């Protein structure tokens, strides 16, 4: 075997090594992207649970319900309403940013979009939004303002059933009932 043959053999082996390395890196990159997407989704669900936990607190849900239905709030409750609205909008905006960065799929974004759309059926939230939209990017504000507002589900205490009303605004007839 002469030097040229050995050189050609060395080039061939080197090319195979580069090919194997590229295949390995492609597999690693795919796994990294999958892990990043799973982590993003897990973080989204965890934050959503934290936000929803606030809405399970009877005292807070009363504040949120009053604010959404344009009932009078004292200064402390107005701050609680604003703080929650900003937290909620920040969460949904982050989901939108992750969607635009292709870290989550469209189905996840649409689920979050439906959550925020419920707020846009609330007269008190809409009043707040006129000033509160400053806390999100203009692009995100335009995106959620064009979201359909047909996603809400209401409980009818008289019929003891859940339903999706054909029309109307959720908070139009909202009543805050204090438990004894």
> Mind listing the pLDDT tens digit for each residue in 65-88?
889 888 899 999 999 999 999 999
Q: Residue 153: what pLDDT? A: 62
Q: Which of 88, 133, 134 is nearest to 112 (CA)?
A: 88
The two beta strands, 154-156 and 161-163, are antiparallel
Evaluate whether residue 114 is within a structural domain: yes
Q: Give yes or no for a contact between 128 and 100, defined as CB atoms under 8 angstroms apart.
A: no
Evaluate whether residue 91 is within a structural domain: yes
Domain count, the chain: 1
What domain range includes position 151? 53-173
Q: Residue 168: what pLDDT? A: 43
Q: Give yes or no for a contact between 165 and 56, defined as CB atoms under 8 angstroms apart.
A: no
Evaluate whether residue 22 is within a structural domain: no
Evaluate whether residue 2 is within a structural domain: no
Enter the tokens of residue 3: 């030097």
Evaluate whether residue 57 is within a structural domain: yes
96 pLDDT exceeds 90?
Answer: yes
Q: Residue 149: what pLDDT? A: 67
Q: Residue 93: what pLDDT? A: 95
Question: Residues with Cβ < 8 Å from 28, sequence gap 6 or more?
Answer: none
> 92 falls in which pLDDT band (50, 70, 90)?
very high
Evaluate whether residue 34 is within a structural domain: no
Evaluate whether residue 16 is within a structural domain: no
Determine the average pLDDT of the residues in 88-105: 92
Say which residue, 119 or 159, is predicted with more confidence. Answer: 119
Evaluate whether residue 85 is within a structural domain: yes
Alpha helix stretches (DSSP H) within the chain: 3-55, 58-68, 75-100, 106-119, 123-132, 138-145
């Amino acid at each position: 075997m002469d030097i040229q043959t050995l050189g050609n053999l060395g080039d061939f082996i080197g090319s195979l090594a580069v090919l194997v390395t590229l295949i390995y890196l492609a597999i690693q990159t795919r796994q990294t992207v999958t892990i990043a997407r799973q982590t993003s989704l897990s973080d989204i669900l965890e934050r959503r649970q934290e936000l929803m936990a606030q809405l399970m607190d009877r005292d807070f849900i009363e504040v949120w319900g009053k604010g959404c239905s344009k009932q009078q709030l004292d200064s402390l409750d107005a701050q609680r309403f604003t703080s929650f609205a900003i937290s909620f909008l920040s969460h949904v905006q982050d989901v939108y940013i992750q969607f635009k960065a292709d870290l989550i799929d469209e189905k996840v974004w649409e689920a979050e979009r439906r959550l925020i759309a419920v707020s846009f059926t609330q007269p008190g939230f809409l009043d707040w939004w006129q000033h509160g939209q400053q806390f999100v990017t203009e692009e995100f504000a335009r995106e959620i303002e064009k979201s359909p507002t047909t996603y809400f589900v209401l409980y009818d205490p008289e019929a003891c059933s859940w339903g999706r009303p054909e029309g109307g605004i959720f908070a139009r007839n909202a009543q805050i009932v204090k438990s004894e």
